[in-house]
Amino acid sequence: MKLAIVGVTGMVGQEMLKVLAEMSLPITELIPVASKNSAGTKILFGGQEHTVVDLEEALNMKPDVALFSAGGDISLEWAPKFAANGCRVIDNSSAFRMDDDKKLIIPEINGDDLTENDFIIANPNCSTVQMLIALAPLHKLYTIKRVVVSTYQSISGTGAKAVKQMENERLGIKGEMVYPYAIDQNVLPHCDDFLENGYTKEEMKLVNETHKILDPNIGVTATAVRVPVQGGHSEAINVSFERDFDLAFIRKAYHNNPAIHLQDNPETNTYPMPLFAKGRNEVFIGRLRRDESQENTLNMWVVADNLRKGAATNSVQIVQKMIEKKIIKIGTF
């Protein structure tokens, strides 16, 4: 399997290299792809040096799979070209997520929807992925009516320039400002651009992607907040069901779910935190408790490494699912 990573020098691209190495996919040739400025530089993978190429050269090398994480404009221009070449594209941008003819995939939830006809597959937004990993099992059990979610999102979700802004602020250095205000010792109720309805694009992604992946009948409202944390998104989720639920049964279901790490013991101060989610592929869930003000309603706290399950890990797991379903055919796998 010839596999290309488009945007290999970025934060998600670098994480993809780590996840691919950990998951031992049957890669016969890695094609690292970046801008013309980075072409010719070297990256390490599998104990070997690989030369970074530009998009045109990568296209001519005819990869079987391409993981795109270079922004929506690059995806819109180049993903169709790779797909027309017979390449399976997993795209991390928002370019194709809401297209009616493109699948929006979280493998544990709707991976079985993938078919041989799918050549461009969209990876959901990072905050959506971790929320739906937590909610999908409960929707099957109790049918979700409404979700109220507040996110506490890491600056790594914005990219390397945001990390640099916070580092500069902590050192008292004046530098490039990615955000309209300081992020160190501050929180910004402003993730992505504002829309006419008063919500941000990030907030509406949580709404629209939940409807596409899980159920269009679920009411979702979101507030997305950027916090001065370098890695890991957190979410306070309030979810109302059609019928009453059994909290002990929910804990057991989460405990038995390999995509989830349950951390829920107030007596020992055990609860999810970005500090301990870093570099992990699971979604961490805790602070499970009934909403005593609302019937059939549950509160929870959900944390994940946004560069992992929110991006790189989910993309690689989509490739694994396509191999498992023999959509991507590997002779010795």
Rounded Cα gap, residues 131 and 139, in angstroms: 12
Strand, helix or coil at 223?
strand
Q: Is 86 annotated as a binding residue?
A: no
Q: Is 40 annotated as a binding residue?
A: no
Q: Is 208 annotated as a binding residue?
A: no
222: which strand partners?
A: 149
Q: Is 9 annotated as a binding residue?
A: yes
Residue bearing tokens 């055919």:
329
Q: Is 306 annotated as a binding residue?
A: yes
Instruction: Determine which one of 50, 139, 233, 261 is catalytic.
Output: 233
Q: Is 126 a catalytic residue?
A: yes
Q: Is 151 annotated as a binding residue?
A: no
Cβ atoms of residues 322 and 328 within 8 Å: yes
Displacement of CA 159 from its chain's centroid (Å): 14
Q: Is 12 annotated as a binding residue?
A: yes
Q: Is 37 annotated as a binding residue?
A: yes
Q: Is 257 annotated as a binding residue?
A: no
Cβ atoms of residues 315 and 90 within 8 Å: yes
User: Which pair of structure tokens corresponds to residue 238?
Assistant: 């309030």
Residue 166's alpha-carbon distances to 94, 126, 173, 180, 305, in angstroms, are 25, 21, 10, 13, 19
Instruction: Determine which one of 87, 126, 191, 261 is catalytic.
Output: 126
Strand, helix or coil at 3?
strand
Q: Per this entry, what is the length of the chain? A: 333
Cβ atoms of residues 15 and 23 within 8 Å: no
Rounded Cα gap, residues 126 and 137, in angstroms: 18
Q: Is 97 annotated as a binding residue?
A: yes
Q: Is 87 a catalytic residue?
A: no
Q: Is 297 annotated as a binding residue?
A: no
Report H helices in the chain. Answer: 11-23, 55-60, 72-84, 107-110, 126-142, 160-171, 201-213, 247-255, 274-277, 313-324
Q: Is 35 annotated as a binding residue?
A: no
| Residues that constitute the known binding site | 9-12, 37-38, 97, 153, 156-157, 226, 306
Q: Which residues participate in catalysis according to the annotation? A: 126, 233
Residues in binding site for substrate: 153, 226
Summarize the annotated binding site for NADP(+) as residue ranges. Answer: 9-12, 37-38, 156-157, 306
